[in-house]
């Protein structure tokens, strides 16, 4: 996700960051070329003119479909952010309970906190389909890394390690049973939130809605010049592209937010969220290992 100064209106107006989703400008130019071809053809080949009123009605229909697409995509984005907010809170609560109520040495408490951090890093990598886990390799021993990699669900393996340690503290009498239950409830929240994220990831917007929107937008923009040529002449390609940009950008944003856990400019900043958790729990900052330059820090 790209951070931005919310109060600088002029800066946001002219800033290129976040203005172009991948492939949008190519599609805008393609519809501009179609409009130019239709304008040139109109000068030499008689055609049947189309009423602008038809496109006013069609535009209203396209707007309704775009609104549906935008609302459903943003709901997925916001639900994902809410789930990761709960992950942040539950991670802090588990370590807080252990640090405050468990009569264990600091090394044992830190080991449990490390496994909580490993869980959030593994969850992020799992949602993004990434097999490499450099942050985890930095926190665990080689044997632990191999055991985790061999597990069919690495985040669940990390959660099991946290649960095992909480149970060991309770059995040894180092952590009161009611506090161990509270910590387990927070661990359950971590696992439940990951399940919610996996539900979002594996349940995209139904294909029929996506096809209807893309085909409707393509048909609308490809034939719009036929209604503009008589009114504005050689300006038809420019006006067509001016209409195409916001329409195609909204459609592209819907596609980005359908999977809010990726690396697109408008996706959730999962790397920074995981960095916050590790910094809060362990006092270290993995971003210095992940981000190579200041410019890269703008993209998660």
pTM exceeds 0.75, yes or no: yes
Residue 49 pLDDT > 50, yes or no?
Answer: yes
Residue 241 pLDDT > 80, yes or no?
Answer: yes
Across residues 208-224, what is the average pLDDT? 89
Residue 298 pLDDT > 50, yes or no?
Answer: no
Q: What is the pLDDT of residues 125-161, one digit of tens each?
A: 999 998 888 989 999 999 999 999 999 999 999 999 9
What is the reported pLDDT for 6?
60
What is the reported pLDDT for 4?
55
**Residues for the chain: how many in total?**
300
What is the reported pLDDT for 299?
47
Alpha carbons 183 and 162: distance in angstroms, whole number:
10
Mean pLDDT, rounded, of the chain: 86
Question: Which carries the bigger pLDDT value, residue 188 or residue 204?
Answer: 188
Confidence class of residue 15 from pLDDT cuts 50, 70 and 90? low
Question: Which carries the bigger pLDDT value, residue 60 or residue 119?
Answer: 119
Contact (Cβ atoms closer than 8 angstroms) between residue 4 and residue 16: no
Q: What is the pLDDT of residues 75-106, one digit of tens each?
A: 999 999 999 999 999 999 999 999 999 999 99
């Amino acid at each position: 996700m790209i951070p931005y100064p919310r109060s600088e209106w002029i800066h946001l107006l002219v800033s290129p960051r976040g203005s172009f989703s991948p492939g949008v400008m190519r599609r805008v130019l393609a519809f501009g070329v179609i409009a130019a071809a239709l304008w040139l053809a109109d000068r030499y080949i008689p055609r049947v003119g189309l009423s602008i009123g038809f496109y006013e009605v069609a535009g209203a229909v396209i707007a309704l479909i775009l609104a549906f697409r935008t609302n459903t995509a943003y709901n997925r984005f916001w639900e994902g952010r809410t789930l990761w907010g709960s992950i942040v809170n539950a991670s802090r609560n588990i370590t807080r309970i252990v640090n405050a109520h468990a009569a264990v040495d600091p090394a044992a408490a830190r080991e449990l906190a490390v496994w909580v951090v490993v869980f959030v890093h593994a969850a992020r990598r799992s949602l993004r389909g990434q097999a490499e886990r450099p942050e985890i390799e930095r926190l665990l021993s080689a044997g632990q890394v191999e055991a985790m990699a061999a597990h069919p669900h690495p985040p669940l393996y990390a959660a099991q390690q946290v649960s095992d340690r909480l149970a060991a503290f309770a059995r040894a009498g180092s952590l009161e049973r009611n506090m161990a239950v509270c910590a387990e409830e927070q661990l359950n929240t971590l696992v439940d939130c990951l399940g919610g994220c996996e539900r979002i990831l594996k349940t995209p917007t139904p294909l029929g809605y996506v096809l209807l929107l893309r085909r409707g937008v393509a048909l609308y923009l490809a034939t719009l010049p036929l209604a503009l040529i008589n009114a504005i002449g050689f300006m038809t390609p420019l006006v067509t592209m001016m209409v195409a940009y916001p329409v195609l950008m909204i459609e592209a944003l819907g596609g980005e937010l359908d999977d809010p856990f990726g690396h697109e400019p408008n996706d959730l900043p999962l790397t920074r969220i995981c960095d916050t958790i590790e910094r809060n729990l362990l006092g270290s900052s993995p971003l210095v290992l992940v981000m190579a330059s200041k410019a890269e820090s703008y993209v998660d």
